[in-house]
Each structure stands twice: as structure tokens, then as C-alpha cells.
A and B are shown apart, each in its own frame.
Chain A
């Protein structure tokens, strides 16, 4: 099986190498006339105030938390889906139960307002 993955590895390396070519080409061809103003942070002409790395609201974090939970769930379901055809009906029901329990979690998050953008 590992030899099937060899292609993936090679392909990813090629995929990294490819976009580097135009970047290198650009480095050779493009002019370079550095100027202090040119390298300023671009904020529509305004001067930057304070640090860039300001704190953002926790909303983004909650969404990614919910996402992580669902991602883990779905990964569990993939082997179940692959085996689906050979499973008896009650085994399919077990998978459905798994989904329904998680759907309960979604309902909870919804009720709590965790899914609202404020």
C-alpha cells in the first residue's frame, strides 16, 4: 500500500516546487527599488495605529470549537459509510444513532445561541 502513497508524496513535493518557479523568475526579472514608504503597511493611506496583532472576539473560537467536534464525528463515520453495504440493518441503525446523538449537540449549541453571530 505504501507504494500508492509514494505518488502522493512525490506529487506534493512537485506541488511545492511548482509555484516556486514563477516566484524565483519574478525575483530575477522584477525591478527592486526599495523605499521606506513603499514598505509601509497598507491601510488605504492611513498611518497604522498600534500593534497589528490585536485581540479578536471569542466568537471565532467558538465556531472553530464546534467545528472540531463535528470533524471528529465525521471521521468516525467514514469507515461506517464504507462498510455500509455489507452491514445488517441494526448496524446501520447504530451509525444513525451516532449521528443523532451528535445532532443533539447541534441542537444544544443552537439553543444556547452559540451559533449566532453577534
Chain B
């Protein structure tokens, strides 16, 4: 029987399960398969049931931001609102529009959920608690996320609706565009940690990477918000222009599954940011009690989630040409510059400098880069205003 360890309770349960299965006489490979299945099931449950809480949280917090009360009828503080919503979605009639491609129409939302939940396979909750620590973890999170793009394309195309197709086109072009700065931003922590394993990346953060790579984190957050497609980058479902985008024809629970994918995705990128830039499970006493790491990790994740929420309720929707310009003319060059500067400065610092000193030098180089890019932006903005002034002067208010 495995030794009881309260500081690492979930791993203890995992070992206990393996021991029990071994006792009843299963082959060792069957035992490990069953252990993995159970662990995967629990992990998937965690990832998919989290939105029940985060949706409530989001509605409540967004309401306070906008000087409203938010859900407050179902249960204390409206806590059971999400359950009521689920019941409502389940008992709604499911309508498949005429002329829709039924098979693809149904596969779309399921694939979307799979792609975001799949990322959780590599997210470390604690040094001992990680689904699987493959040596390409960070790239895998991008790769699985890419399937979600395809799912949206399938859903939008199969709906047989012009709005849905237009929404899908907007979505996909936005998602693929913002994938570029997002991956480049993820290259920076890879470079600093010297590994793509999630656990290695966390272990290397004696000083959190937000210090050594603040610009990379900013680029990652902005492009991730665009990847999720929430405000201010929600023009892919702009209600007032294209009704609701790619999921206009989805009803009942099928629509609910799209929503689930979106909310899991928002939570997932918060978790990724917490792992890659905020030190994941690192915190006091994690060496003795690895389970504490999970608490630190989730706390950091919720902090990032709150920042995303804050951005969401504060900023208005961007225009499609601005959305493209922001990506290709600002985030992509900036992320490449951050990568080059980090690579060069990181090598220029002598090897015997401590981790803190190295992080400080990288931080200062990031600040210098930020100053340069902000002054470039200011110059560009002045030029743009001058051009707009001329066009207003010459053509009257109509433009």
C-alpha cells in the first residue's frame, strides 16, 4: 500500500488506485491504462465544469463593473444561475436549419470543446500533478488549439447561412492572424527555460518570467484574447452586424456546447499565462506540500482571468481593419523584436550572473523596447491624425 502523504493527496489517491487495481490481479499495463483513464476523466471534468462557476463569476463581476446587480435570484448570490441555464439549454428544442450539412454541423461544436479541453492534458497543477509532461508541451497547446479554428470553420460552413459563413470567415482570419504573435510570444519563455516541457518551464522560474519578459506576456495576453474572441475582439460574433457569427443557427444545447468551448478557452488561456509567465505552481512551501502548488496555480489563473474580464467589460469592440492592423503591424513586429532582443541580451549577460540579475537586465531591455515602440506609435498616430485632418478639410464632414 502506498505511503499516505497529505501534502500530495491527489497523487496519493492515484497511487492508491493503482495499488488497488494491482491487488485485484490486473496486469501492470492495464493498471496504468486504467489509472490514466480515471485521471483523464477527473481532469476533463475539472476543465469542463469550471465554466459553471466562471460564467456566474463573469456575470456577477461584469454586472458590478457596469453598476448592475447581476444574477441574484437563483440561490444565494445567484450562485445556481448557471445550473438553471444548463437545464434551460437542455430542454430547448434543437433545430437544424434546412440545407445544413448535418454531420459537419454536429461535429463542429464537439471538436471545438475537444480542442480547448485537450490543452489541459499538459497543464501542470503542481510539480507532481500534470496530465502528461510531453517534451513539446507548449507547442502541443498551440497545436490542439488550432483544431478549434477548423471546428469554427466547419460550424459556420455547415449552417447554410450567409451570416454564419461570414462570421466563420471573420473568425478564422482573426484566429489564424493572432496565432502568429501568440506563438512567437510563447517562444520567449521557451527560450528562457530551455525546454518546451510545461513543468520545466515552471521549474525554471526562480524569478517569474513576467519580470524577464513583460512584453512577451502582454503580447500573449492580447493575442490570446483575440484567439478566444471576446471583447474587444468579439467582432467575429458582432451581434449588431452579423447577428451572432458562426453559431447563429445553433440552438439549445448545441449552442450551449459552443458557449462551453468559449468559456473553457478563456479559462485555459488564463491557466497558460499563469503557468508560462506567472510561475505556475511556484510559491512558498511547495517543496514539502506539492498540493499547495495547485492552490497557487489556481489563484494565479483566477487573477489572470479577472484581468481578462476587466479588459472585456472596459473596452469597446475594435473595427475589422484596426483588428488586422493591430496584429500585423504592431503585435507581430513587436513580438519578433522581443524575441530577438531577449535572445541577444540573454546571451550577452555573462553566465555567472544570478537568475535575478539576468531577469533584471532582460526587464530593462524590455522597458527600452517598450519606450521605442511607444514613441514609434506616437509618431504614427500624429501622422495619421494629420492625414485625417486633411481629408476632413478637403471633403467636408462626409469623408
A contacts B: CB pair < 8 Å: yes
Chain A residues at the B interface, C-beta cutoff of 8 Å: 1, 3-8, 10-12, 14-16, 18-20, 22-23, 25-27, 29-33, 38-44, 48, 52-54, 56, 60, 63-64, 66-67, 70-71, 74-75, 77-78, 81-87, 89, 92, 95-96, 99-100, 102-103, 106, 109-110, 115-117
Complex CA distance for A86 and B293, rounded to whole angstroms: 30
Query: Is B260 positioned at the interface, with any CB of A under 8 Å from its CB?
Result: yes
Interface stretch of the complex, out of B1-9, B74-82, B114-122: B114-122
**With a CB–CB cut-off of 8 A, which chain A residues contact B169?**
56, 60
The 4 A-B pairs at the shortest CB distance, nearest first, are namely: A26-B253, A117-B321, A7-B132, A15-B114
Contact A4 B333 (CB under 8 A): no
Contact A100 B340 (CB under 8 A): yes
Interface stretch of the complex, out of B63-71, B173-181, B361-369, B379-387: B173-181
Taking a contact as CB atoms closer than 8 A, the residue among A8, A23, A39, A96 that contacts B95 in the complex is A39
Contact A95 B179 (CB under 8 A): no
Query: Is B343 positioned at the interface, with any CB of A under 8 Å from its CB?
Result: yes
Query: In the complex, how many residues of chain B place their beta carbon closer than 8 angstroms to a beta carbon of chain A?
Result: 89
Query: Is B37 positioned at the interface, with any CB of A under 8 Å from its CB?
Result: yes
| Interface-central residue, B43, B162, B196, by most chain A CB under 10 Å | B162
| Interface-central residue, B114, B118, B179, B320, by most chain A CB under 10 Å | B114
Taking a contact as CB atoms closer than 8 A, the residue among B43, B256, B328 that contacts A115 in the complex is B328
Chain B residues at the A interface, C-beta cutoff of 8 Å: 32-33, 36-37, 39-41, 43-44, 48, 86, 89-99, 106, 109-111, 113-114, 117-118, 120-122, 131-136, 139-140, 144, 157, 160-163, 165-166, 169, 172-173, 176-177, 179-180, 183-184, 187, 190-191, 194-196, 243, 248-249, 252-254, 256-257, 260-261, 320-321, 324-325, 328-329, 332-333, 336, 339-340, 343-344, 346-347
Give the residue name and chain of the B residue nearest to A90 (CB).
B347
Complex CA distance for A99 and B325, rounded to whole angstroms: 21
Given contacts A11-B117, A42-B161, 14 further A-B contacts (CB under 8 A): A19-B260, A30-B91, A42-B163, A43-B161, A56-B169, A60-B172, A63-B173, A66-B328, A74-B187, A81-B191, A92-B347, A96-B340, A102-B336, A115-B329
**With a CB–CB cut-off of 8 A, which chain B residues contact A99?**
336, 339-340
**With a CB–CB cut-off of 8 A, which chain B residues contact A12?**
114, 118, 121, 144
A10-B37 CB under 8 A given contacts A39-B95, A78-B196: yes
6 interchain pairs, CB-CB under 8 A: A3-B32, A11-B43, A11-B117, A22-B86, A26-B252, A31-B93
**With a CB–CB cut-off of 8 A, which chain B residues contact A115?**
324-325, 328-329
Taking a contact as CB atoms closer than 8 A, the residue among A16, A56, A64, A85 that contacts B110 in the complex is A16
**B contact patch SS:** helix
Taking a contact as CB atoms closer than 8 A, the residue among B114, B131, B140, B340 that contacts A19 in the complex is B114
A14-B40 CB under 8 A given contacts A84-B343, A95-B343: yes
Taking a contact as CB atoms closer than 8 A, the residue among B90, B133, B177 that contacts A26 in the complex is B90
**Nearest Cβ on chain B to A10's Cβ, whole angstroms:** 5
**With a CB–CB cut-off of 8 A, which chain B residues contact A18?**
44, 48, 113, 117
**With a CB–CB cut-off of 8 A, which chain B residues contact A87?**
347
Contact A82 B254 (CB under 8 A): no
Contact A110 B328 (CB under 8 A): yes
**With a CB–CB cut-off of 8 A, which chain B residues contact A33?**
93
**Nearest Cβ on chain A to B328's Cβ, whole angstroms:** 4
Contact A71 B134 (CB under 8 A): no
Complex CA distance for A11 and B123, rounded to whole angstroms: 13
Contact B109 A19 (CB under 8 A): yes
**Nearest Cβ on chain A to B216's Cβ, whole angstroms:** 12
**With a CB–CB cut-off of 8 A, which chain B residues contact A26?**
89-92, 94, 252-254
Complex CA distance for A22 and B157, rounded to whole angstroms: 23
Complex CA distance for A92 and B249, rounded to whole angstroms: 51
Complex CA distance for A5 and B324, rounded to whole angstroms: 36
Complex CA distance for A103 and B114, rounded to whole angstroms: 34
Give the residue name and chain of the A residue nearest to B200 (CB).
A82
**Nearest Cβ on chain A to B82's Cβ, whole angstroms:** 13
Complex CA distance for A115 and B344, rounded to whole angstroms: 28
Contact B90 A4 (CB under 8 A): no
Complex CA distance for A103 and B337, rounded to whole angstroms: 9
**Nearest Cβ on chain A to B167's Cβ, whole angstroms:** 12
Contact B187 A40 (CB under 8 A): no
Contact B173 A64 (CB under 8 A): yes
A23-B254 CB under 8 A given contacts A52-B165, A71-B180: yes
